[in-house]
Structure 1
Amino acid sequence: MATDAVILVGGFGTRLRPLTLSAPKPMLPTAGVPFLTHLVLRLREAGITHVVLGTSYRAEVFEDYFGDGSRFGVDLRCVVEKEALGTGGGIRNVASALRADTVLVFNGDNMIGVDLVDFVESHRKTDADVTLCLTRVEDARAYGCVPTDADGRVEAFLEKDPNPVTDQINAGLYAFKRRLIDTIPAGRPVSVEKETFPGLLRSGADVRGYLTTGYWRDFGTPADFVQGSADLVRGVAPSPAVPRPGERLLMPGASVSPKAKIYGGSTIGARTAVGAGADIDGSAVFEDARIAAGAVIRRSIVGNRVTVHPGALLEDCVIGDDAVIGAGIELRYGARVWPGVHLAEGSIRFSSDL
């Protein structure tokens, strides 16, 4: 039986600004390729080849890169939201592009290491109307909780609570019977978590939970983005796009001095140059950057065409495209440097927004 995949990628990615000023969050380089590439290739690997992207912000970036999907081994179509419709509204908006009776829906900023074949088989075996992929977290207070009974039936959708009743949370992956998608109201914003799923429970629909112990991470914040990218490089997170995991990933044309240290799952983008004595740990450096001798970069994202001068220190930072970090500058504590900003040599900065 055929399965369709819907990936919701319409968000603005505000938590990852300034990087998302020039590209949507799912298209930011992650372990050497746009983040969404990892999911598309995993779908192909699982035999799911009809993929629909629910786009909005910078929709043309997805279309230009993926085209019809053929070079990735899938049949891909983009459906554009003209206004923000929320998660449920975004699913309803792509309904006309669906073909199969089983539809997987993904939040486009989550990395989920679940066995997709087993997830689909579980959904069909129980004959559920909707199956939610669930994961456990150490501290569920920041998430909506999803308690289930002994048979895996979802009992409730609970908003963030200081005293969670379960450590099970929504992992951002759902399996729908196709007919259920047509019951979502069209043409207006709908939250699948706050409206669609609670409404299905009230109506007596069979909503199941599927608990995964595989990898899971929301890539929405800079800290999660750099950790997730490093996890992909090191093979902690699964992806066919990273065939040889290791401590570092050098993209074509990257030039790294043999006296530089690149480790912790760092990625060095295409045509980027790294000088002698540079120390780059657990970071993502994009294309055409220049990292000078003695620069230190830890757990940071460095945008396209950025120049980092000798002796600069970046820790837990986001550096926008075309920025220049002067010699001896220190940036820590979540500092963000906006595109094109030049920080003068010798000034010491700890600001969160430059």
Structure 2
Amino acid sequence: MSLKNPVDAVVLVGGKGTRLRPLTLSAPKPMLPTAGVPFLEHLLSRIRDIGIEHVVLGTSYKAETFTEYFGDGSAFGLDIEYVVEDEPMGTGGAIRNVAGLLRHDTALVFNGDILSGVDLNALLATHADNQADVTLHLVRVPDPRAFGSVPTAADGRVEAFLEKTDAPPTDQINAGCYVFKRTVLEAIPTGRVVSVERETFPGLLESGARVFGHVDSTYWLDLGTPAAFVQGSADLVTGTAPTGALPGEPGAHLVLSGATIAEDVVLGGGSTVGANATVEKAAVLESAVVFDDAVIGERARINRSVIGKGARIGAGSVVEDAVIGDGAVIGAGCELRGGLRVWPGVEIPEHGVRFSADV
């Protein structure tokens, strides 16, 4: 597919993902296995599928993991370049930091931890039709109180950027995807921290710039927490969230190459079983994300949880709404629930019971 006008894609992937620890101790959030491949690969597949060829990744934390996996992008049908940010410069600073690598007059900018179903062609069309300086994807959410809201006029022009409130005037929120005119992007200050949400966009409104919203109610999820990460992975597996990178057909589960699934195992809710992982007899996985080389013991139950690379879950254990770090060992008959996070390499003895505390 070819675009009417050439566009660069920019993906901001420099964050440390502290809310997802311990998973992000070994890899940046966009590189975590999500429905069988690094999350970023799902986003890049959507960029590629609308005909964008040139992508700039704004990296920082563990920047080498991106280059090692994606290289120059040719294996993924893309031309990928990288900008490494030595010191965090905020969202606006990160966007300005890539300006020197842009090739075209329009840049489609993504926060690299958002899973979205927005029609990217429609977003670009909104930008072009309005001759906008910046166009924001605004998504309607059932409860906008947890977010800043962005009201728009009847013609779609953005009226304000409002902080979180218990009585938001609109259900439209900033969805973390923007279209910039290149000259506007290049006008962001350099050499200091800049928030695009608190400084750049409000400043553009004050100056009379043409800032528009592309409003929809499509699928949207911020993968910043373990619960959201599990949900996002499951939604990709089941086909609820769009992707062109799923390594298999959408369905109730995804089992990667080399995984061993014993008899009487129940896999559902969009669960993923990683490469060379083992799920032993009569185990039940519901909305589970099991990383490569992990072992799930007989009759174990894994619900809405992440099991890290090489971790071992003992027979009959229950892991619910929890994160088990890489290489951790959970003894037989344990119960781990309620948001518990087990750090990499930790061993919990048989019949241990832990609730709502990190170990």
- TM-score normalised according to structure 2 size: 0.98
What is the deviation of 1:346?
Answer: 1.4
Tell whether 2:55 aligns with 1:51.
yes
Aligned to 1:262: 267
Deviations 1:223-246 (A, max 9, x none): 110001000000000001125100
Aligned to 1:221: 225
Aligned to 2:11: 7
Q: Which residue, 21, 24, 28 being the options, matches 2:25?
A: 21
The number of residue pairs the alignment matches comes to: 354
Aligned identity (percent) is 60
What is the alpha-carbon distance in structure 2 between the residues aligned to residue 274 and residue 216 of structure 1?
31
Q: For 1:45-124, list aligned pairs within 5 A.
A: 45-124=49-128
SS of 1:146's equivalent in the other structure is coil
SS of 1:2's equivalent in the other structure is coil
The alignment yields a C-alpha RMSD, in angstroms, of 0.7
Structure 2's unaligned 5+ residue stretches are none
Q: Which residue, 302, 319, 324 being the options, matches 2:324?
A: 319
Deviations 1:107-147 (A, max 9, x none): 00001111111211221111000000000111111101000
Aligned to 2:192: 188
SS of 1:173's equivalent in the other structure is strand
Q: Which residue, 310, 313, 326 being the options, matches 1:308?
A: 313
What is the alpha-carbon distance in structure 2 between the residues aligned to residue 349 and residue 45 of structure 1?
45
What is the alpha-carbon distance in structure 1 between the residues aligned to residue 153 and residue 206 of structure 2?
16
What is the alpha-carbon distance in structure 2 between the residues aligned to residue 145 and residue 258 of structure 1?
50
Aligned partner of 1:56: which letter?
Answer: S
Aligned to 1:167: 171
What is the alpha-carbon distance in structure 2 between the residues aligned to residue 214 and residue 164 of structure 1?
20
Deviations 1:143-189 (A, max 9, x none): 01000000000000001111111110000000000000111000111
What is the deviation of 1:2?
Answer: 0.5
What is the alpha-carbon distance in structure 1 between the residues aligned to residue 171 and residue 243 of structure 2?
26
Aligned partner of 1:324: which letter?
Answer: V
Aligned to 2:282: 277
Instruction: Flag as ranges the 4+ runs of structure 1 deviating above 6 A.
Output: none
What is the alpha-carbon distance in structure 2 between the residues aligned to residue 269 and residue 294 of structure 1?
19
Aligned partner of 1:285: which letter?
Answer: V
What is the alpha-carbon distance in structure 2 between the residues aligned to residue 110 and residue 258 of structure 1?
36
What is the alpha-carbon distance in structure 2 between the residues aligned to residue 265 and residue 295 of structure 1?
17
Aligned to 1:292: 297
SS of 2:124's equivalent in the other structure is helix
Aligned partner of 1:67: which letter?
Answer: G
What is the alpha-carbon distance in structure 1 between the residues aligned to residue 190 and residue 281 of structure 2?
57
What is the alpha-carbon distance in structure 2 between the residues aligned to residue 223 and residue 352 of structure 1?
16
Q: Which residue, 164, 176, 179 being the options, matches 2:183?
A: 179
Structure 1's unaligned 5+ residue stretches are none
- TM-score normalised according to structure 1 size: 0.99
SS of 1:349's equivalent in the other structure is strand
SS of 1:258's equivalent in the other structure is coil
Aligned to 1:134: 138
Q: Which residue, 312, 333, 340 being the options, matches 2:338?
A: 333
What is the deviation of 1:32?
Answer: 0.2
What is the alpha-carbon distance in structure 1 between the residues aligned to residue 92 and residue 116 of structure 2?
20
Aligned to 1:236: 240
Q: In 1, are the aligned partners of 2:277 and 2:293 still within 8 Å (CA)?
A: yes
What is the alpha-carbon distance in structure 2 between the residues aligned to residue 249 and residue 157 of structure 1?
40
Q: In 1, are the aligned partners of 2:141 and 2:217 still within 8 Å (CA)?
A: no
What is the deviation of 1:263?
Answer: 0.6
SS of 1:171's equivalent in the other structure is strand
